[in-house]
Structure 1
């Protein structure tokens, strides 16, 4: 029964019958309409909360959430700006403009997890510096970005200071002789860990995308692993591809 109630409310939201900011019927009204107990109705409403469609504002009720996803563009590090007109139009449509951005930064020296150490070609016991960031819009956590660097490379640089680097950590690496010329991207879709749920204030049932980028210097040495955690209800992941005009058309 709770699934039927959730399906009906979800359909009303999808069709615009209930608009952004509108209050859903109260628990009592839904109980009467569907002949269901209050516990069943709460389960249906919680399902929509977990999907990111509504937000609870007790004691006033449940309201349809405004969905304004942040655009995440994995290509942007190595591409000149502006992008193509089409990409610029897309970014403008999904822009975070008008919302107040904020990020917190913490830097620690760690023995990295085994998967990170493997990507950085670190031996057991070798240390890494990790810059942990939580990025927020209008006070809501939007994503996590934990970036690992071999400590032997960055230990005397501003990368290990817990402050924003205006010109970017990539530029700092370049200035130290570790310019990144290529990267390997990995994308995973999964449920969050308890720590990620806590840092991102996620409701139960919200999946995340995990983007892992390993950056390599000209000599083939891995110099950085960036791990971004993107809640599924707050992001659109966008790639732009352009075919080399000299390539044969194999489509």
Structure 2
């Protein structure tokens, strides 16, 4: 307590720092409830509003979530390994499971997803990558993926309408063999892809779809697929909350040294 009062920070920041230390050290584990406002008020000898301000700092950092009327809880973190190179992996043996489902099931967790298909006017980022004019009608397959019922990432794929308008890509159901193979079967096998990864704060729509807490940045992974003549036929946008993902790259070296 003496160290607490001696620190030249506002009291609410000192409370936030002390609770943060308890969380990062594991003293307060994921899913555990924080002491009540009354308990913290008595512990530190401050006003209740000061305690609330300190907890609000941790909420904004994504360390703590409010579950009214139960109180505040340490955010449970179950990181998902995200492999950008995973698109080249073989499909799972079970046709009802996509790559994501296979990965999560092998980890002993329950995967699920929602799929929505619609025609949209291409926003500038998609139009640029598909090499069409902004506002051009394209097909959007929008997915939110879940682990144990909690949303973990967004996977939205966009296609030129004239390429896929009569295909199963237009159906809001899982494509067992994958949309890449479906494109190939339509006569548009992808020859290469360009990956771009950005880190930034999420848009309001992404916050809504993923149920993100305040102060949670995201990684945005664009994958643009091209056929052999250089025509883009697909642009997928993956949105990954930073507190739920570990991005893992695997590379194989060609020996060029002696």
Give me the TM-score of the superposition, normalised by structure 1: 0.86
CA distance 1:56–1:171, change in 2 (3 Å): same
CA displacement, residues 112-167 of structure 1 (integer Å, 9 cap, x when unaligned): 01221111111355321010111111221111111110111111111111111111
CA distance, structure 2, for counterparts of residue 21 and residue 204 of structure 1: 18
What count of residue pairs does the alignment treat as equivalent?
239
Unaligned stretches of 5+ residues in structure 1: 83-92
Does the alignment pair 1:60 with 2:53?
no
Residue among 144, 152, 156 paired with 2:154: 144
Q: Is the 8 A contact 1:71 1:94 kept in 2?
A: no
- Using the TM superposition, give the Cα deviation of residue 36 of structure 1 relative to its aligned residue in structure 2, in angstroms: 2.7
Where do 1:211-230 residues align within 5 Å? 211-230=221-240
CA distance 1:124–1:56, change in 2 (3 Å): closer
Q: Is the 8 A contact 2:65 2:213 kept in 1?
A: no
Give me the TM-score of the superposition, normalised by structure 2: 0.84
CA distance 1:122–1:139, change in 2 (3 Å): same
CA distance 1:219–1:36, change in 2 (3 Å): same
Q: Is the 8 A contact 1:20 1:66 kept in 2?
A: yes
Unaligned stretches of 5+ residues in structure 2: 1-10, 93-102
For 1:180, what is the secondary structure of its paired residue? coil
Does the alignment pair 1:186 with 2:196?
yes
CA distance, structure 2, for counterparts of residue 225 and residue 107 of structure 1: 15
Q: Is the 8 A contact 2:121 2:136 kept in 1?
A: yes
Tell me the C-alpha RMSD between the 2 structures. Answer: 2.4
Does the alignment pair 1:134 with 2:144?
yes
For 1:202, what is the secondary structure of its paired residue? coil
Does the alignment pair 1:210 with 2:220?
yes
